[in-house]
């Protein structure tokens, strides 16, 4: 049966290279990645259900995205076909250490002259009234670039104007505000 190819492995810890990765963590990260791609495609769970003619039910896809339900490899391939992305784009990045290290650290400050590098991993869990609008705006850029690396997105200085409007700040305060919200990655000067 297809589900036996599940990407949600046993509850035991799994050894990947030098890192020990718990299977629950992996499922959660896989789900986050699947959600990022859906959001980049600007589809709701219900849109996916409708457009896939109920091949991917909203409730089941939601459970995959929350890491609550195992997704089989064939299903993951079908989902990649549906989203029109290479299947590896649905997999979480291999080096989990970076994500783990970021937890509990002070968000990096942003200094004028630095590139604005959005932390797309942090965006997944971000909450707040402006976050959905920021997501939509970044989603447009990703689709235009066809850039689905899913970890970072370097945006133009010009884009700070739109983000300032969303955040109700001045243009100069937009990047520092994003940094305060923990949504920027440290970057070198441009």
Nearest to 121 by CA among 190, 182, 42, 65: 182
- Provide, rounded to whole angstroms, the least separation between the CB of residue 116 and ligand C2E: 7
Options 157, 161, 170, 172; binder of ligand C2E; rule CB under 6 A: 157
Q: What CA–CA distance (Å, rounded) separates 114 from 117?
A: 9
Q: What CA–CA distance (Å, rounded) separates 92 from 110?
A: 27
Contact call for residue 15 and ligand C2E (CB under 6 A) = no
For ligand C2E, the closer of residues 96 and 163 by Cβ is 163
Phi, psi of 43 (to 5 degrees): -115, 140
For ligand C2E, the closer of residues 49 and 159 by Cβ is 159
Q: What CA–CA distance (Å, rounded) separates 150 from 166?
A: 22
27 by Cβ neighbours in 10 Å (0-12 / 13-18 / 19+) ranks as buried
For ligand C2E, the closer of residues 70 and 153 by Cβ is 153
Options 145, 149, 170, 180; binder of ligand C2E; rule CB under 6 A: 145
Options 52, 154, 186, 187; binder of ligand C2E; rule CB under 6 A: 154
- Provide, rounded to whole angstroms, the least separation between the CB of residue 53 and ligand C2E: 31
For ligand C2E, the closer of residues 90 and 138 by Cβ is 138
- The total of other beta-carbon atoms located within 10 Å of residue 154's CB is 14
Q: Is the dihedral of CA 70, 74, 76, 79 positive or negative?
A: negative
For ligand C2E, the closer of residues 77 and 156 by Cβ is 156
Q: What track of x and - describes contact with ligand C2E for positions 78 through 97 (by CB under 6 A)?
A: --------------------
Q: Is-contact 160 178, C-beta < 8 A? A: no
- Provide, rounded to whole angstroms, the least separation between the CB of residue 90 and ligand C2E: 21
Entry field: residues in the chain: 190
Residues that bind ligand C2E (CB under 6 A): 115, 141, 144-145, 154-157, 159, 190
């Amino acid at each position: 049966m297809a589900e036996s190819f599940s990407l949600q492995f046993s509850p035991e810890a799994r050894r990947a290279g030098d890192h020990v990765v718990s299977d629950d963590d992996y499922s959660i990260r896989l789900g986050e990645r699947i959600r990022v791609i859906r959001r980049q495609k600007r589809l709701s769970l219900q849109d996916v259900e409708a457009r896939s003619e109920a091949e991917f039910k909203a409730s089941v896809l939601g459970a995959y995205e929350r890491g609550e339900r195992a997704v089989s490899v064939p299903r993951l391939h079908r989902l990649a076909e549906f989203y029109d992305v290479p299947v590896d784009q649905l997999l979480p990045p291999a080096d989990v250490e970076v994500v783990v290290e970021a937890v509990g650290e002070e968000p990096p400050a942003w200094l004028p002259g630095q590139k604005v590098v959005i932390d797309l991993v942090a965006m997944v869990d971000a909450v707040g009234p402006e976050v959905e609008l920021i997501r939509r705006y970044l989603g447009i850029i990703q689709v235009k670039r066809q850039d689905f690396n899913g970890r970072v997105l370097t945006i133009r200085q010009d884009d700070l104007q739109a983000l300032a409007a969303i955040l109700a700040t001045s243009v100069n305060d937009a990047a520092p505000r994003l940094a305060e919200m923990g949504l920027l990655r440290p970057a070198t000067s441009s």
